[in-house]
Amino acid sequence: MATSSRSTRGFEGLLTRKVKPGGGRSDRKERRSRREALAQKRRAQQVVEHNVPVMMRGSAMGLPVKARQPNNSRRRLDIALGVSGAEVRLPALPRVELGWRLVSAVFTGILSLILYFAWSTPVFRVHQVEVIGLQRLTLEDVNSIVDLNDELIFAVDPSKLQKEMTEAFPEFEKIEATVQFPNVVRLNVVERIPILVWRQEGRAVLVDANGYAFPERAQNASQPKLAVEALSPPAEMIHEMIPESQPSFLPVEMVSGILSMSAIVPENTPLIYEAKHGLGWKDRRGWQVYFGDVQDINMKLNLYQAIVKKLKEEDVVPSLISVQFVHSPYYRVEQ
């Protein structure tokens, strides 16, 4: 009996509940829209969590960190047409980002091409050396010693070239080497002026006023009239005509003495030099006369003339007369 009364109340309750027209269909739409909204929210949250980097402060050991994935999204370009609601979509292009490695590779390639062009083209090859200031020498003389033909202009060292020229040509008092692009090597030189010829052991060198000696390269160039026949090398010399151990050949004082003595020597008479007796000349009457140096040269000359007069009176023909020391002159007769 209790069961029937409970069932009766439930049935009455159902009868008394207000039922909205079309209520079942609207509830389903509302639940579907909620599910879609929730799904969109979850997708948006996943996108944010996927693209936004996670910033961490303090200690976070053991927490998973999602790495940021590269964005390979393509740029899309839509162009609207003149017709309402019509547009053209161009093909999407990938985003191109230039890194420092790509830029470095491009610059390396460009520099490699420039170096290859500079190394292979004949534009930067030296054909000959231009020399300014030559007096006795010729351009062929210089180019025969300094061979820069077909040399790469970038490989020419002006300081090294200047040093090589100084060693090869002692007749150059001053040398200035310059390199001008694309293929010009220019030398500005100042030649030494020879004032005498020094002959010794079948060889001859030219000597300037400072005692520097240099070879007779120019065959057609005029030679100094003053000449010295050396019977033995000076004490300052070793055994070579142009010693490498010292830049000059003769002391400046000795050169000055030779110039002074050339003023009193008989015309067309070469001077002679002997290390033991000094400077002198070979008299045309058959003997050699030595004056040593040019100190007291006038006194030595008067003494020499007095000795010659005395020997002529005694009918003596000497082989050597020395007035090197004015207080002890002497003469020698051949045995």
The per-residue pLDDT for 184 is 87
As a whole number, mean pLDDT of residues 85-97 equals: 65
Closest among 90, 68, 94, 69 to 80, alpha carbons compared: 90
Give 253's pLDDT tier (boundaries 50, 70, 90): confident
| Residue matched to tokens 């999602």 | 66
Q: Does 41 score more than 70 pLDDT?
A: yes
Q: Which residues neighbour 226 within 8 Å (Cβ) at sequence distance 6 or greater?
A: 195, 196, 197, 258, 259, 262, 271
206-235: average pLDDT:
83
- The CA-to-CA distance between both ends of the chain, in Å, stands at 188
Max mean pLDDT range (22-36, 248-262, 311-325): 311-325
| The residue to which tokens 């020698």 are assigned | 332
pLDDT at 83 over 80: no
Report pLDDT for 304. Answer: 92
Same fold, 122-191 and 196-332: no
**Span 316-328, mean pLDDT?**
92
Task: Give the domain ranges of the chain.
Answer: 122-191, 196-332
Does 122-191 carry CATH code 3.30.1490.20?
Answer: no
DSSP assignment of 51-97, as one string? HSPPP--S--TT---PPPPP--PEEEEEEE-SSTT-EEEEEEEE---
**Looking at the predicted structure, is the pLDDT value of residue 48 above 60?**
no
Confidence at residue 7, expressed as pLDDT on a 0 to 100 scale: 45
- Using CA atoms, how far apart are residues 206 and 216, in angstroms rounded to an integer? 7
Q: Name the range with the highest mean pLDDT among 18-22, 97-101, 123-127, 297-301.
A: 297-301
Q: 3-class SS at 232?
A: coil
CA separation for the pair 217, 120 (Å, rounded): 37
* Percent share of the chain, pLDDT over 70: 69
Overall average pLDDT of the 298-317 stretch: 92
**Distances in whole angstroms, Cα of residue 321 to Cα of each of 239, 259, 283, 303, 304:** 27, 21, 10, 11, 8
For range 89-97, the mean pLDDT: 65
Summarize pLDDT for 111-146 with one digit per residue, the tens. 887 776 666 677 778 877 889 999 888 888 888 888
CATH number of 196-332: 3.40.50
More confident position, 259 or 242: 259
pLDDT recorded at residue 35: 83
Which sign, positive or negative, has the C-alpha torsion 15, 19, 24, 27? negative
Q: Find, among 139, 144, 130, the residue nearest to 183 by Cα.
A: 130
Average pLDDT over the chain reads 77
